[in-house]
Chain A
């Protein structure tokens, strides 16, 4: 069970350099809308945050949640309500969404961790479906039509966000902040304990860790960060709709995570970008996209379980074939 981090043969300096280049590109992007559409870029960033937040549970705590759409979409509804019906300023509306989903996540956690493994996945799915129906029937959500248009509001009551490029920098800042937090959580002592629980729960318990409390907190953190992503998406698109709370969304985020690589911190973001690109450019194919996504899902499970980043890490750190551990034992690469 005990395993050491797969060392990346990329020096920390190179990693830092890569992130800096990426950041520079993202900062420059809104000034070249002819190359990439800023709204689409913001959408990808939201999904990247969503997937990485989801992976806090799946990859690092070993908890399979099939109900994350409840957090992503639920937060969008709350933010939309605060912006449209209460007229709050944008940052308060987003905070309201995050707060709501953090509490909702803790509630999910309290119920779901009473069972383990596959049962836990079914419970989260059922709870999320309950949230779906609740929003479907609530008076403020507009049922099948969704909430729209939602005003973007003013940041701190001052900065008008109806301008796309201003909003872009807010979204970028929030997403980077969120991802930084995910990374911080994963590489903290708290993250170590989560991995200990994932690897051997009875042992972690016997060492005196309050396992249930750790799991519930992990649920709440993952849900809150997923909620942040959902709130941002709501502000970007001025829309909160049923598709975001539907179980298809829960499936999508699992796929993004699997595809990107669940044994890493930022792998899911790669998966999120790939799936968003696929949905964006092949939108005209209609239901065929669902079929293709299903096939990718099946392939990911059958032959590509490490995911994109996991595969890259594996290639970079290739040792003599005998020394390669089975993928299940692979520790989280610290990237």
Chain B
């Protein structure tokens, strides 16, 4: 069975790969959106924290023999703490300035983290084994699905849904939304906004660290694995708008699939298709698909 001259299996395989990439885009743009919403900081270091998560999982495995599943808890915690420290000692000082300084500051952190890992770990990739229980494929009837990739997509959906529930349905989420809309007023009601900012940054980058652990068995763990990704995520954020949690998730997954399709039909464009979509969206709907016009 061919679809536009492409064998069915190959097409499904690429859509699958696209969904996996899209899962990472979704989780990363989600974290970016939350951080931007509250802190007004575009976190360039998001990709670096993603890389840090993957490295923590890799290193605790190598030096302490800790397996994949505990690492899935440990790595986001370590990344979250690193993020909290960075927020306390650096980001906090520039909230009153133009947001562009936030972009520059986090860019500096990217250089430090990437350079640091390159010094100590080298530039080449480190292979990371897929956990034993996740090896092999299942036959879905219409395609063969590698179990681990299915798991990644499932986890991404769970994380996005979980974040949405936390933000929309819990008291903590209500504080967060209040502080996003009116920080001074929220503070006046007795809510400790500075701590909320710190925790939000920590949680946002912990999400990136979690995505890094998920990515470790798929990509080789290497210092530049995050920054190329984060630029694509920026484009996705421009396409989707930083407005909504669901918007980021849908845009992320959707663009992953578009990228996968581009690989099948016109592989030269696969690296640029996201940016082309961005240009198109800017021309037709400058505020982004789900965005509100920023003030």
Contacts and interface: CB of A to CB of B under 8 A. Distances in A.
Interface of A: 64, 66, 111, 114-119, 121-123, 125-127, 129-130, 133-134, 136-137, 247, 251, 254, 258, 286-291, 293-298, 300-302, 305, 328
Given A117-B99, A290-B115, A298-B105, A111 B231 contact: no
Interface string B265-286: 0001001101110110011001
B230 to A, nearest CB: 9
A127 B112 CA distance: 25
A271 to B, nearest CB: 13
Contact of B100 (A121, A296, A298, A302): A121
B103 A297 contact: no
Interface centre among A247, A293, A294, A300 (most CB of B within 10 A): A294
B234 A122 contact: yes
Nearest to A251: B107
B238 A122 contact: yes
B94 interface: yes
A252 B248 CA distance: 30
B279 A297 contact: no
Interface in B92-137: 93-94, 97-105, 107-116, 118-119, 123
A288 B283 contact: no
B42 interface: yes
B294 interface: yes
Interface residues of B, number: 45
Given A111-B282, A125-B231, A129-B231, A118 B115 contact: no
A287 B222 CA distance: 14
A298 B275 contact: no
A118 B99 contact: yes
A287 B118 contact: yes
Contacts of B278: 123, 126
A254 B100 CA distance: 11
Given A118-B100, A126-B275, 7 more contacts: A111-B282, A115-B294, A126-B231, A126-B234, A127-B279, A286-B119, A328-B98
A301 B109 contact: no
B90 interface: yes
A115 B286 contact: yes
A44 to B, nearest CB: 21
17 contacts: A66-B103, A115-B282, A117-B100, A121-B100, A123-B278, A123-B282, A126-B231, A126-B275, A127-B275, A134-B272, A136-B271, A251-B111, A288-B115, A290-B111, A290-B114, A294-B112, A297-B108
B93 A291 contact: no
A60 B148 CA distance: 51
Contacts of B108: 294-298, 300-301
B42 A121 contact: yes
B28 interface: no
Interface string B238-278: 10000000000000000000000000000010011011101
A258 B107 CA distance: 13
A122 B286 contact: no
Contacts of B110: 294
B237 interface: yes
A294 B104 contact: no
Nearest to A299: B108
A192 to B, nearest CB: 21
Nearest to A295: B112
Given A111-B279, A251-B111, A287-B118, A119 B101 contact: no
Contact of B272 (A64, A133, A290, A296): A133
Contacts of A288: 115, 119
Contact of B116 (A114, A126, A291, A298): A291
